[in-house]
Amino acid sequence: MSRFSAPIAESIWDMKYRLKDAEGTPVDHGVEDTWRRIAGALATVEKDPSDWEDKFYGALEDFKFLPAGRIIAGAGTARSVTLFNCFVMGTVPDSMAGIFDMLKEAALTMQQGGGIGYDFSTIRPKGAPVQGVAADASGPLSFMDVWDAMCRTIMSAGSRRGAMMATMRCDHPDVEQFITAKSDAARLRMFNLSVLVTDPFMEAVKADRPWDLVFDGVVYNTVRARDLWDRIMQSTYDYAEPGVIFIDRINSANNLNYCETIAATNPCGEQPLPPYGACLLGSINMAKLVSNPFEGDAALDEDMLDDLVRTAVRMMDNVVDASRFPLPAQEEEAQNKRRIGLGVTGLADALLMVGLRYGSEDAARQTERWLQAIARAAYLASVDLAKEKGAFPLFDAEKYLASGTMQAMDDDVRDAIAEHGIRNALLTSIAPTGTISLYAGNVSSGIEPVFAYSYTRKVLQKDGSRTEEEVVDYAVKLWREKFGDVDLPDHFVNAQTLAPLDHVRMQAAAQKWIDSSISKTINCPADIGFEEFKDVYMAAWDQGCKGCTTYRPNDVTGSVLSVAEDKPKAAPVVQPVEVGGVVHLTEPLDRPVALEGNTYKLKWPDSEHAIYITINDVEVNGHRRPFEIFINSKNMEHFSWTVALTRMISAVFRRGGDVSFVVEELKAVFDPRGGAWMEGKYIPSILAAIGGTIEKHMIAIGFIDGEGLGLKTDPHADPVSGLAAPKGKACSSCGSYEMRMIEGCVTCANCGFSKCG
C-alpha cells in the first residue's frame, strides 16, 4: 500500500527527490528507501550510527518531519551538492576587482544549488566619483544587472534554478531607483528585492520628518521620509516588490548580535544571515500530529511534538557535519555557529482540525502556544547536544543570554543554557514549503492559510494522453473521508477569503517564538485601496514582525488562481488552466527500432563549417513528436557544446510532454560578441539559430502551430474577441500563466516550480 495520500505527492517525490542513477533508473524503489537513505546519511556522523538511524527513520516516516528539499534529494547520494538551502554572500567591496570576486563566489554557490542573498548597499551610488580613473560610478543597480545575467546562465543542482535576494538600505542614495527597478518587466528577473528599513526611518515616517540619503558620510540627497515610504508602498502595490525587512529589529533580536551584523537574507526572507552565513531548513508537519481531528476532543499531541522536535534538531545538527559547502568561508561560518532553521508546515490544516479559524484571535493564541512548545523543545534538545558534543565554538554565555530573543525565553531554558551551553546558535525559522508540502500530501504550506480547498491539474501521460486529477487540501480530504461531501464548517477559510490584517496577526503570533524570521505572503485583494494596503505594512511593523511581503493580483504581476463559482458546496474549486501540458514521468519514452526524421543545414555567418541538425520523431497516438536530436559540425571548436546539446536536448525530448520550451530557451540566448542577420532576421546567437531550426521542425510535424506559437491555444483569450487577457508572467518551467506568490516566492500552481527552489 502506497504511503502517498495523493498522486501529486508521488509525482513530486519521483520528479524531485527520488534517487536515480545516471540513466534515470530509480535507486530508491519506494519512498521508504528515500527515508532510509536520509536517515542513514545523517546517522553516519554519530558515534553509534545504528542506534540513531532507526530513530531518524521514524521521524521521517509518514512525512512527520520534512527536511528541506535539498536534504531529501541530496543526503546519502554521494553527489557534490550542498544540503544547505540558504546563503548570504560576503560583503561586496566597493571596488571593481572585489565586486567581480563576489560574482565568482555567487556562481560557485549557485552551481551547487544554494540560494543566495546580497546587500548591495556597500557599492557607491551612481554618479559618485571613482578615484584614479577620472570617471563616475555606475551604481549598484548596474552591477545587479550583471548578477542577474549570471544567474540566468547557472542551472543549480538537480532541477533547481538559482535564486537571489538583493537588499538595499533605506538611506542609500540609489534606493529610489532600487525601489522601482521591477517596473521594467525585463530587468532583474532573477532577484527578489527588499529594502532594509531601519528603526530611525520608521520613526521619521511616523513623525513626518526629512530623511537623508547617505553614502560614506556624504549626504547626496534629503527626502521626506513619508514620500520614500510611499514610493516603497506604491511599487509593491503595483509589482509585488520590493519587500520590506525591518533590519534593526532583526539585529537587536539576534542571538548572535555580539559577534555578527546582518544586512541581507536568503531569497525568501526567512533566514537573515551575516556575511557567508548559511542555514539549513526543515519543518515539523503539524497536520500529522493532531489526534481525533474535527472531533470535540481534537488536539495536537504535544508529547509527540516534543519528541519529534528533539529528533529533528539532532538530525539537522548532523547536516552541518555531513554537508558539502561551495566555499570554505561558508563552511567555517556554519561550523562556528551551527545555525539551523526548524519550522513548521501544515499549521493551517492543524488549526482546521482542532476547530479554529485561521486568522482569528483564538487561532493566533494557539499558534503562539504551539510555537513556544517547539522553541522550548528545540532549545532544550540543543542543550542536550551541547552536553554530549559541545557548544557552538563562538558561544559566550553572558552575551548570548543577553540577546533580544533569549531575554524572552523561559527561565528553565536560560538556566540550562547558562550551565551547559547550547549546540546551535539559532534554531527556528519558518521557510517556504510549497513542494515538500505537496510531497507530504498537499498539507497547507508553512504558516500560510489553505490556499484553495481543491483544484484540478491536467497531467500529460507517457502515451500522450491527458488525465485530470483533483488536488485536495490534506485537511479537506480528511473531512471528506470522515463526513462525506457535505458543506465545510464556517471555520474553514482560505487565502481567497481571508482579510489581510488576519494574515498579519498570524505572522506576528508566530514571530514571537521564531529566532530567525518567517517566509510569509500576505494576500491582498486586487481592489484593495492604496491607503488600506499601506496599513498592512504599518500593522506588521507595529505588531513586531521582522519583515513584510504582500501580493496583490494585477495586470503586471498576474492573478492568483481563480475560484470557480458554479460549485454549490462550501469548498471552492480552483481550476488552473493547463498551458503547455507539463509532464513529469518516471521513465523516458521507449525508442522504436526505426524513427523518421529530418536533417537541416545551418550556416552561421563567418563560420567556416556548417552545422547539421538531425531531429528524429516518435509517433504517439497518431501524432509525431520530437524524440532525439543530433548536432554535428566539422569545426572542432564546436565539439564539446554540440555533444552536450545533443545529449541534453535528447534527454528532454524523451521525457515526453510539451517540450516546446526548449525552443524558447535557446532562442533567448544572446552572444555578447554579437549575433548575425539570417534570412532577413537578427539572430542573437548560434544557439538561438539552433532553437529556430528546432522550432521550424516542430511546425513541420504539427507539434506547434507556428513561429512563436509553442502553445496551441490561449486559454485566457476572450471567447468573443479572441484577444488575450492580461496574464502576468509565465512559468519558466512549464509555460503556464498560473504563477502566484507563496511565502515570499513566486510559485507555479500548475507544476510546482519555484524560482526560490
Active site residues: 266, 268, 270
Quote the CA–CA distance of 752 and 17 in Å, as a whole number: 13
Distance between CA 458 and CA 472 in Å, rounded?
Answer: 14
Longest CA pairwise span in the chain (Å): 80
Instruction: Tell me whether strands 115-119 and 86-88 are parallel, antiparallel or unpaired.
Output: parallel
With a CB cutoff of 8 Å and minimum separation 6, the contacts of 636 are none
Quote helix, strand, coil % in the chain, to nearest 5: 40, 20, 45
Q: Distance between CA 432 and CA 754 in Å, rounded? A: 10
Instruction: Give, to the nearest 10 degrees, the angle between helix 639-654 and helix 686-700.
Output: 30
Q: What angle do CA 258, 101, 215 make, to 5 degrees?
A: 60
- Cis peptide bond N-terminal to 93, omega within 30: no
**Helices of type H across 192-301:** 199-207, 225-239, 247-253
Per the structure block, which three cell numbers stand in for 313? 534538531
What SS3 state is found at 527? Answer: coil
Write the CB contacts of 341 (distance below 8 Å, at least 6 apart in sequence). 86, 270, 271, 279, 280, 281, 282, 426, 427, 428, 429, 431, 516
- What distance in Å separates the CA atoms of residue 538 and residue 532, rounded to the nearest whole number? 10
Closest CA to 646 of 632, 664, 665: 632
Residue 310 CA to residue 583 CA, distance in Å, equals 38
> What backbone torsions phi and psi does residue 711 show, to the nearest 5 degrees?
-95, 130
Residues 6+ apart with CB under 8 A from 2: 10
Rounded Cα distance between 228 and 756, Å, is 28
Cell 557534490 belongs to which residue?
A: 80
Opening angle at CA 645, ends 633 and 621, nearest 5 = 110
The candidate with the shortest Cα–Cα distance to 400, out of 424, 432, 378, is: 424
Nearest to 542 by CA among 221, 91, 199, 267: 199
DSSP state of 155: B
The single residue listed with the C-alpha cell 480547498 is 453
Extended strands (E) in 372-413: none
- The grid coordinates listed for 57 are 527513520
Interhelix angle 500-511/361-389, rounded to 10 degrees, is 30
By CB atoms closer than 10 A (0-12, 13-18, 19+), residue 722 is exposed
Residue 565: Cβ within 10 Å count: 7
What is the Cα–Cα distance from 173 to 180, expressed in whole angstroms?
A: 14
Q: What is residue 726's three-state secondary structure?
A: coil
Report phi then psi at 412, rounded to 5. -65, -35
Q: How many CA atoms lie within 13 A of 222 on its CB side?
A: 4
Q: Which amino acid belongs to residue 241?
A: E
The residues, ordered by sequence, that sit 6+ positions from 631 with a Cβ below 8 Å of its Cβ are: 611, 612, 613, 642, 643, 645, 646, 690
State the Cα–Cα distance between residues 671 and 487, nearest whole angstrom.
58
